[in-house]
């Protein structure tokens, strides 16, 4: 099982995927242990595992586990697994990147120990993300010139990745370097990934933080309380337009108005070089229940119409820089 003293969203144990069920956090640490690719797909859909890099890693393991005990290639089975996972979440490009990596690996192997060959590739994808998270955290230290108050949105730590996180990896390393005074955490409606997950991670890291409503950010900026905003991203287009959790665009607009630097932190696997700009990014729409209900308690009438996009697009012109494992990219952006 996952070592509960070391926060991980996913791990492998006894050739089964162990998933920390994020829908139960922060009140309960429940673990799902499975080698069923369909159950892993459901975990992605239900947000039991979430965050672009973590979704990609979980999908890679699901492909491998689908071939447990198989010694000969079965393209019908591979297609079934691939297509089931492909439709789980439409916006985060890491999912499709990881699935294509696994497809390329499958195509390259011969009959034999197919499961272990695929599992080896999934482990490489996982380890690669761990290294990228560490490098993002290190590169992100350049953002700080003094001890700072940081605002972040949604969740970008170990719960969202295979390693230490993206934006939160930067924040944790900065705190260790005595560069963080306080972290303001957007609650991140409607599923509260900020108040449930980011706060949970900051508490474990013993970093001072305050939870705020999403609509409080502009007020803090107006009063000079925010030095820098750092978020993650689920897909970045060639021109630098970035899809991230709904509410990120609001932050970028407010940062631009109040002259607060706005940074995105993401691994290179988040770049979609086939996507020219943000207009080409498909935005996932979630169930109306996520707005109408809170912990199964109805907070408004269920017959009311709801519009619930899970992500929005921040135009490249509002982004101060994009922190990757390679370097910090500055505008004008072009990822060809």
State pLDDT tens for residues 10-36. 999 999 999 999 999 999 999 999 999
Confidence of residue 192 (pLDDT cuts 50, 70, 90): very high
Taking residue 3's Cβ as centre, other Cβ atoms within 10 Å add up to: 8
Q: Residue 259 corresponds to which tokens in the numbers above?
A: 């002259």
| Predicted pLDDT of residue 113 | 87
State mean pLDDT over 303-327.
98
Helix count (H) and strand count (E) of the chain?
Answer: 11, 16
Mean per-residue pLDDT for 236-260?
98
Report which of 39, 42, 44 is spatially closest to residue 57, judged by C-alpha positions: 44
Q: How confident is the model at residue 273 (pLDDT cuts 50, 70, 90)?
A: very high
- Segment 105-112 shows an average pLDDT of 91
- On whether the CB atoms of residues 232 and 166 are closer than 8 A, the answer is yes
Query: Which residues lie below 8 Å from residue 206, measured CB to CB, with a gap of 6+?
Result: none
Q: Directed axis angle between helix 75-86 and helix 93-108, to 10°? A: 170
In the set 35, 129, 227, 234, the catalytic residue is 234
Q: Percent of the chain having pLDDT more than 90?
A: 94
pLDDT average, residue stretch 166-192: 98
Q: Which domains does the chain have, with CATH numbers?
A: 10-135 (1.20.120.420), 137-329 (3.40.50.10470)
Residue written as token pair 């303001």: 184
Name 311's Cβ contacts closer than 8 Å, sequence gap at least 6: 91, 234, 243, 244, 245, 246, 248, 281, 283, 284
Confidence of residue 6 (pLDDT cuts 50, 70, 90): low
Token output for 83:
């297509």
pLDDT digits (tens, 9 = 90+) for 115-135: 999 999 999 999 999 999 999
pLDDT greater than 80 at residue 5: no
**H helices present in 13-51, as ranges:** 37-45
Is residue 227 annotated as part of the catalytic site, yes or no?
Answer: no
Q: What percent of the chain has pLDDT over 70?
A: 98
What is the predicted pLDDT for the residue at 71?
A: 85
The Cα 25–Cα 48 span in angstroms is 10
d(CA 152, CA 187): 10
Q: What are phi and psi of 87, to 5 degrees?
A: -95, 5
Q: Return the minimum-mean-pLDDT range out of 25-29, 120-124, 194-198, 228-232.
A: 25-29
Q: What CA dihedral angle connects 26, 27, 29 and 31, to 10 degrees? A: -100
Q: SS3 of 235, please?
A: strand
Q: Indicate if the pLDDT at residue 333 is higher than 70.
A: yes
Residue 330's H or E segment, with its range, is none
- Distance CA(152)–CA(232), nearest Å, equals 9
Q: Is a pLDDT exceeding 90 seen at residue 72?
A: no
Ordered alpha helix ranges (H), the chain: 37-45, 52-65, 75-86, 93-108, 114-139, 167-176, 193, 199-205, 217-222, 248-258, 289-292
Q: How many angstroms separate the CA atoms of 186 and 207, rounded?
A: 15
- The average pLDDT across 168-186 equals 98
The pLDDT of residue 1 is: 39
Dihedral over Cα of 249, 251, 256, 260: its sign: negative
Q: Is the pLDDT of residue 3 over 50?
A: no
Q: 152 has which bridge partners?
A: 185
């Amino acid at each position: 099982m996952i070592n509960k003293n070391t926060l991980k969203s996913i791990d492998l144990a006894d050739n089964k995927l162990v998933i920390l069920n994020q829908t139960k956090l922060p009140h309960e640490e429940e673990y799902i242990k499975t080698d069923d690719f369909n159950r892993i797909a459901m975990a992605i859909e239900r947000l039991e595992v979430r965050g672009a890099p973590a979704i990609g890693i979980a999908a890679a393991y699901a492909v491998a586990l689908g071939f447990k005990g198989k010694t000969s290639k079965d393209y019908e089975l591979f297609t079934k697994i691939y297509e089931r996972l492909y439709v789980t979440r439409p916006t985060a490009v890491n999912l499709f990147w990881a699935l294509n990596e696994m497809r390329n690996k499958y195509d390259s192997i011969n009959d034999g120990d197919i499961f272990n060959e695929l599992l080896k590739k999934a482990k490489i994808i996982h380890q690669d993300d761990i290294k990228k998270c560490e490098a993002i955290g290190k590169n992100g230290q350049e953002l700080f010139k003094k001890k700072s108050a940081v605002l972040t949105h949604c969740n970008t730590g170990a719960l969202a990745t295979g390693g230490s996180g993206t934006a939160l990896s930067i924040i944790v390393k900065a705190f260790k370097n005595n560069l963080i005074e306080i972290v303001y955490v957007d609650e991140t409606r409607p599923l509260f990934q900020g108040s449930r997950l980011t706060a949970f991670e900051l508490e474990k890291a013993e970093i001072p933080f305050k939870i705020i409503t999403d609509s409080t950010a502009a007020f803090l900026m107006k009063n000079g309380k925010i030095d820098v905003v750092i978020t993650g991203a689920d897909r970045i287009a060639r021109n630098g337009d970035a899809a991230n959790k709904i509410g990120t665009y609001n932050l970028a607009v407010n940062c631009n108005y109040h002259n607060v630097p706005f940074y995105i932190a993401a691994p290179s696997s988040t770049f979609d070089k086939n996507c020219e700009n943000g207009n080409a990014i498909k935005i996932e729409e979630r169930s109306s229940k996520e707005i109408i209900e809170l912990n199964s308690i109805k907070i408004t009438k269920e017959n009311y119409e709801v519009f619930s996009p899970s992500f929005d697009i921040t135009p490249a012109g509002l982004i101060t820089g994009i922190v990757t494992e390679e370097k910090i990219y500055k505008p004008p952006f072009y990822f060809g």
